[in-house]
Amino acid sequence: MNRADPESAIAEAARKCSNWGRWGEDDVLGTLNFLTAAKRREGAALIRRGVSFSLSQRFDMNGPQKGWRRRTNPVHTMLDTGTDAAAGLQGFPHGIGGADDVIAMPLQCSTQWDGLGHIFDHGKAWNGRDAATTVTSEGDLVTGIEHLAAHVAGRGVLLDVGRVVGGGELPDGFAVTETHLTATAEAHGVQVGRGDVVLVRTGQLTRAKRDGWGDYAGGPAPGLSFTTASWLHRTEIAAIATDTWGFEVRPNEFDHAFQPLHQVVIPHIGLLVGEMWDLDALAEDCVADGVHEFWLTAAPLPITGAVGSPVNPVAVK
């Protein structure tokens, strides 16, 4: 790669990896088309012990956001409480009382999916659509994340690159290449292919939980190299998620570039990308039983017109 020329590299990767038109001009699922009923049955058959793992961070004010891009941590407010009930302020009959609450949060502030309307390339959204008419102030009018809500359930595969390559944690700025991904899959005894949901653990979240958030949100991080675009396209995976804020390595591998891999994989490949997933407990169990594949369900909230969604992914082994 020519570090000084991100434009040419992005254009070339977009040309080679484009899935535009692959599932028709009206497609709203992108690579989730690879996650078929047969693939779901394959994933369900992986359940042996019935042990389950939530792969989500907690949604509270102690999260990683510091206000960059106007992203804040979730604000949780009680509307009705036990105090109100005990004081007889709720007006319900025969002694019944209750509690209600509300949460205000950016949809990309913690464990989440990037929707297909989240990133554009030169004014083009997924499948070659005009970004200006696809995503407006009313939301994503075509590929809103609500369309994905029924589809993200199938075979999950953990690639613990942090453990295999880095001895536990990869340093910030470490670019995970196709060689690292394939070597990790081989070390785990798993194959990655069509319709899989791939989880890449770098260990950065492990470090943040131990040492504090620091610049976790938007700062330097290990992550996928721009050169993995062809692997992400060729393997025909349904989705990928990492334990980092931005999925790809930061600083990015080009001078004066911002998230160039996003610019290829979302609008051109149509790939569902997850970020800030907590993979630590699952990874420990995978080491203990030697199995790095599992049933995974990770439905986004069907928020009409949203370009991202919080998610509580659950892996079952």
* pLDDT mean over 127-153: 98
CATH number at residue 229: 3.50.30.50
CB 267 within 8 A of CB 120: yes
Q: Is residue 1 in a domain?
A: no
Residues 267 and 231 in one domain: yes
Domain tally, the chain: 2
Task: Give the C-alpha separation, 311 to 297, whole Å.
Answer: 10
Residues 58 and 203 in one domain: yes
Residues 93 and 168 in one domain: no
Residues 193 and 286 in one domain: yes
The per-residue pLDDT for range 87-122, each reduced to its tens digit, is 999 999 999 999 999 999 999 999 999 999 999 999
Cα angle 111-116-119, degrees, rounded to a multiple of 5: 85
Residues 82 and 139 in one domain: no
How distant is the alpha carbon of residue 77 from its chain centre? 26
Task: Give the C-alpha separation, 4 to 250, whole Å.
Answer: 16
Show the domain range for 166: 6-69+106-316
Residues 53 and 17 in one domain: yes
The backbone torsions φ and ψ at residue 206, rounded to the nearest 5 degrees and listed phi first, read -55, -45
More confident: 314 or 68: 314
Quickly tell me which residue has 């990928």 as its tokens: 240
The three-class DSSP label of residue 65 is coil
Residues 273 and 220 in one domain: yes
The per-residue pLDDT for range 272-304, each reduced to its tens digit, is 999 999 999 999 999 999 999 999 999 999 999
pLDDT over 90 at 1, yes or no: no
User: Do the strands 197-200 and 153-159 form a parallel or antiparallel pair, or are they unpaired?
Assistant: parallel
Residues 99 and 233 in one domain: no
Residues 97 and 125 in one domain: no
pLDDT over 90 at 182, yes or no: yes
Residues 111 and 167 in one domain: yes
pLDDT of residue 147: 98
Q: Greatest CA span in the chain, whole angstroms?
A: 74
How distant is the alpha carbon of residue 132 from its chain centre? 24
| Structure-block tokens of residue 180 | 């690292």
